[in-house]
Amino acid sequence: MSLANLPPLRDVIRAHGLDAKKTLGQHFLLDLNITAKIARGAGEMDGVTAIEIGPGPGGLTRALLDTPAKRVVAIERDDRAVAALQGLVEASDGRLTVIGADALATDVVAIADAPRAIVANLPYNVATPLLLGWLERADEFEHLTLMFQKEVADRLVAVPRTKAYGRLSVMTQWRMTAKILFDLPASAFTPPPKVVSSVVRLVPKPLDEIPFNVMERIVAAAFGQRRKMLRQSLKSVTPNVEAWLGRADILPTSRAEELDTDAFVRLARALKT
């Protein structure tokens, strides 16, 4: 079989008893126009190793194999889906590798050669921890194109002084340029989830010298008490808060949600431990 005459995804699902499991966040995209749109949204794929998390029956995987990506490495936790993807592996002429594993426990950098990009319709229950893990190693990727529930996507791109602005916004915008490409209604998925989804494209920024865990600690403390003034909320980071805020040129009476990412970078640089 070649990529041009693969069976419809519904037939693949039926043949492998791949009825969607809620616990695995399974909401499949069966419209190949939509999966092609996501793959196009990813941008430059020439010679890249595309990493897909949760290929399921393989709709997005087919679209990725249609790009000039050098290889596609797909990580899937559900054995039924791994079996269902074997036809695609055979049709891919050696370009597709499917790994049966939990993406949360997988070092994607170790299993895919550079240059790498991640493209995935993420299982919503693990989307945020997966993203935080990739942010930590942002310099390993060319770009990431990821489907989130819209509410999470809005947090990734949120600006200061808005309700959606928080820990995830700062950590993401510190490491990446993030843009929502388009939304998808629940009806685009089988079965439909309860929420609208958004495809977000993230492009890593050049790394600075700030350790990830230092930024995480500051941001978590600041937003852990988001309505308190920073001179109070940041006490858990260092006892000498006012001096620290002064070095960072930030008013001790400011609150976490008023600081942009640059201000958090100044804070991290000014921290003396």
Ligand X SMILES: C[S@@+](CC[C@H](N)C(=O)[O-])C[C@H]1O[C@@H](n2cnc3c(N)ncnc32)[C@H](O)[C@@H]1O
- Which residues have CB under 8 Å from 238's CB, separation 6+? 244, 271, 272, 273
Q: Which two tokens stand for residue 10?
A: 């519904």
Please state the three-class secondary structure of 155-170 as a single string. Answer: HHHCCCCCCCCCHHHH
C-alpha to C-alpha distance for 5 and 224, rounded to whole angstroms:
53
CB of 148 to ligand X, least distance (A): 10
CB of 76 to ligand X, least distance (A): 5
Crossing angle of helices 212-224 and 167-175, in 10° steps, is: 150
CB of 60 to ligand X, least distance (A): 5
Residue 172 binding ligand X, by CB under 6 A: no
C-alpha to C-alpha distance for 46 and 23, rounded to whole angstroms:
35
Q: Is 105 helix (H, G, I), strand (E, B) or coil?
A: helix
CB of 1 to ligand X, least distance (A): 20
- Out of 48, 51, 53, 168, point to the residue binding ligand X (CB under 6 A): 53
Residue 121 binding ligand X, by CB under 6 A: yes
Q: Is 102 labelled a binding residue?
A: yes
Strands 96-100 and 71-76: parallel
What is the footprint of ligand X within residues 57-86 (CB under 6 A)?
59-60, 75-78, 81
- Out of 50, 73, 103, 138, point to the residue binding ligand X (CB under 6 A): 103
Q: Is 97 helix (H, G, I), strand (E, B) or coil?
A: strand
CB of 206 to ligand X, least distance (A): 30
Q: Is 16 labelled a binding residue?
A: no
Residue 54 binding ligand X, by CB under 6 A: yes
Q: Are 77 and 55 within 8 A, CB to CB?
A: no
Residue 28 binding ligand X, by CB under 6 A: yes
Q: Is 76 labelled a binding residue?
A: yes
- Which residues have CB under 8 Å from 187's CB, separation 6+? none
- Out of 93, 102, 113, 249, point to the residue binding ligand X (CB under 6 A): 102
C-alpha to C-alpha distance for 159 and 71, rounded to whole angstroms:
36
Q: Is 27 labelled a binding residue?
A: yes
CB atoms within 10 A of CB 262: 10
**Residue 60 or residue 178: which is nearer to ligand X going by CB?**
60
Q: Is 121 labelled a binding residue?
A: yes
CB of 94 to ligand X, least distance (A): 21
Total binding residues toward ligand X, as defined by CB under 6 A: 23
Residue 202 binding ligand X, by CB under 6 A: no
- Residue list for the binding site: 27, 29, 54, 76, 102, 121
Give the footprint of ligand X on this chain (CB under 6 A): 24-29, 53-56, 59-60, 75-78, 81, 102-104, 121, 123, 126
